């Protein structure tokens, strides 16, 4: 497993420009949506991250042919050669479940391994299954697999008991090929959902209510090929905003959509961080001499994103006072905290809350990454810790951040990957 070494001298000044990549959580459903047509799909602004290679391996096994040229992907599923997503691939990446809806809609059959739990919590998919059964699928759960069959999906009204990003995406894609109209209620509002809807419309889908909690999909014949641009990664952007805040830096983020970052920006400004919108695609962030503590509760978009919780926790270790971080989305998303304690943070976990006491000076130590956003929080902590921080199992980071060390090094960080 790979390692990253960071030498923080307590107050590195990150300075300069960083180009934010395409969104991992937008490109994964866009890639599985290519199952909905036998024609060629072209996706631009692809992030070259590990999860993209994983989903492409899975798609190849299903019959997809693709070429990746820098950050552009063309992919085509002329014929479905297999309807099975193996345990090994699903275990590697839970988002593999996003083949379930489109595969069932295109082929009438899908066998997908149950995702199981992971470092951030149990990852049930009951809402995906309930929705697909309402569309007329018959679904068996046996030997750790979901076996779904449907001669023809039939449009209907589906209301999600709880907000689910992946569930909304799976049902949107399945509904595109169902007979008649499907009304999806209590949909997630994340920008990645709207980006998927806009792509499906380009493929010929008839969708109303994009960006709203109720989305109507008129099922139609197989969709056709299209070209689409993946939206910028708002979580990578948020991670760099926190990096600029922590290092009292002066960073300009380019190729972003600031309107996807409103809650993150609002919370950072409340803590005293200076953020200035330069134009519709870029922001400048400057750290503050004093960071103000505040309580944060994660919630579905447009609330404070759970994917920014670990990163923001690091910022609160540098705030004067006590901050209570409440995680409401996943039931075990505090695995970064034990590692932050090793760096000298003062955090106590009680149920779904992390009570952070600041300001604490962090000192470098050897640490271990446990999941994607936890590893990002360790990088942020390493930037400001006195001395050397080693992050082991850094493959977690590679799942969702493209060239993170290179981007940070360009900004002046002392960071490098060391071979094991």
Q: What is the CA radius of gyration of the chain?
A: 21
**Minimum CB distance to ligand EPZ, residue 366 (Å):** 24
Q: Is 126 in the site for ligand EPZ (CB under 6 A)?
A: yes
Nearer to ligand EPZ, 7 or 326 (CB): 326
Q: Is 124 in the site for ligand EPZ (CB under 6 A)?
A: yes
Per CB under 6 A, the segment of 39-47, 52-60, 123-131, 388-396 that binds ligand EPZ is 123-131
**Minimum CB distance to ligand EPZ, residue 369 (Å):** 12
Q: What percent helix, strand, coil does the chain show, rounded to 5?
A: 35, 30, 35
Q: Is 145 in the site for ligand EPZ (CB under 6 A)?
A: no
Q: Which residues, at least 6 apart from 139, have a Cβ–Cβ distance to it below 8 Å?
A: 129, 132, 133, 146, 147, 148, 149
Per CB under 6 A, the segment of 23-31, 40-48, 208-216, 289-297 that binds ligand EPZ is 23-31
Per CB under 6 A, the segment of 67-75, 162-170, 214-222, 357-365 that binds ligand EPZ is 162-170
CA end-to-end distance (rounded Å), the chain:
7
Among 127, 196, 226, 231, binds ligand EPZ (CB under 6 A): 127
Whole-angstrom Cα distance, residue 382 to residue 388? 7
Listed residue (415, 351, 346) closest to 380, CA to CA? 415
H-helix or E-strand containing 395? Answer: helix 395-398
Nearer to ligand EPZ, 73 or 372 (CB): 372
Note if 187 is an active site residue. no
Per CB under 6 A, the segment of 55-63, 125-133, 204-212, 271-279 that binds ligand EPZ is 125-133
Q: Are 309 and 336 in contact (CB under 8 A)?
A: no
Q: Is 164 in the site for ligand EPZ (CB under 6 A)?
A: yes
* Residue number closest to ligand EPZ, CB atom: 166
H-helix or E-strand containing 217? Answer: strand 215-218
Nearer to ligand EPZ, 155 or 167 (CB): 167
Among 43, 59, 75, 95, binds ligand EPZ (CB under 6 A): 95
Whole-angstrom Cα distance, residue 165 to residue 366? 35
Nearer to ligand EPZ, 293 or 313 (CB): 313
Other Cβ atoms less than 10 A from the Cβ of 82: the count is 13
Q: CA distances (Å), 152 to each of 50, 105, 109, 325, in order?
A: 34, 8, 10, 46
Q: Which residues, at least 6 apart from 227, have a Cβ–Cβ distance to it below 8 Å?
A: 41, 42, 43, 44, 202
Whole-angstrom Cα distance, residue 412 to residue 408? 7
What character string, x for contact with ligand EPZ (CB under 6 A) and - otherwise, covers 323-342?
------xx------------
What character string, x for contact with ligand EPZ (CB under 6 A) and - otherwise, covers 276-315?
------------------------------xx--------
Q: Are 215 and 207 in contact (CB under 8 A)?
A: yes
Q: Is 101 in the site for ligand EPZ (CB under 6 A)?
A: no
Query: Nearest 10 degrees: CA dihedral of 187, 190, 196, 201?
Result: 60
Q: Which of residues 55-94 bind ligand EPZ (CB under 6 A)?
A: 94
Among 11, 78, 162, 269, binds ligand EPZ (CB under 6 A): 162
Catalytic residues, by residue number, are: 118
Which residues sit at the interface with ligand EPZ, rule CB under 6 A?
24-25, 28, 94-95, 123-128, 162, 164-167, 188, 306-307, 329-330, 372-373, 400
């Amino acid at each position: 497993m790979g390692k990253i070494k960071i030498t923080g001298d307590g107050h590195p000044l990150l300075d300069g420009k960083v180009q934010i990549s395409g969104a991992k959580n937008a490109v994964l459903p866009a890639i599985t949506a290519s199952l909905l047509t036998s024609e060629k799909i072209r996706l631009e602004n692809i992030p070259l991250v590990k999860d993209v290679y994983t989903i492409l391996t899975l798609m190849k096994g299903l019959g997809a042919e693709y070429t990746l040229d820098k950050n552009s992907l063309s992919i085509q599923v002329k014929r479905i050669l297999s309807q099975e997503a193996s345990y090994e691939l699903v275990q590697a990446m839970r988002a593999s479940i996003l083949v379930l809806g489109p595969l069932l809609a295109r082929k009438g059959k899908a066998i997908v391994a149950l995702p199981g739990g992971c470092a951030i919590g149990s990852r049930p998919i009951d809402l995906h299954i309930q929705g697909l059964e309402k569309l007329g699928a018959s679904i068996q759960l046996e030997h750790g697999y979901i076996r779904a069959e449907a001669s023809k999906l039939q449009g209907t009204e589906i209301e999600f008991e709880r907000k689910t990003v992946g569930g909304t995406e799976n049902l949107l894609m399945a509904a595109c090929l169902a007979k008649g109209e499907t009304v999806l209620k209590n949909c997630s509002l994340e920008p990645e959902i709207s980006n998927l809807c806009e792509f499906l419309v380009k493929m010929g889908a008839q969708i109303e209510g994009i960006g709203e909690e109720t989305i109507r999909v008129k099922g139609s014949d197989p969709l056709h090929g299209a070209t689409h641009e993946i939206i910028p990664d708002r979580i990578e952007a948020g991670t760099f905003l926190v990096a600029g805040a922590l290092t009292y830096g002066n960073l300009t983020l380019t190729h972003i959509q600031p309107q996807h970052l409103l809650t993150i920006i609002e919370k950072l400004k409340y803590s005293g961080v200076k953020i200035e919108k330069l134009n519709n695609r870029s922001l400048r962030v400057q750290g503050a001499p004093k960071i103000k503590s505040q309580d944060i509760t994660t919630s579905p978009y447009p609330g404070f994103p759970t994917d920014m919780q670990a990163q923001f926790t690091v910022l609160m270790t540098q705030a004067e006072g006590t901050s209570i971080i409440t995680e409401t989305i996943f039931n075990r998303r505090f695995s970064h905290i034990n590692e932050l304690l090793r760096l000298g943070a003062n955090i106590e976990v009680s149920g779904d809350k992390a009570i952070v006491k600041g300001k604490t000076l962090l000192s470098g130590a050897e640490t271990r990454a446990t999941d994607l956003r936890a590893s990002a929080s360790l990088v942020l902590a390493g930037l400001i810790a006195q001395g050397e921080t080693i992050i082991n199992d850094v493959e977690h980071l590679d799942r969702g951040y493209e060239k993170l060390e290179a981007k940070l090094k360009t900004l002046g960080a002392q960071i490098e990957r060391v071979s094991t």
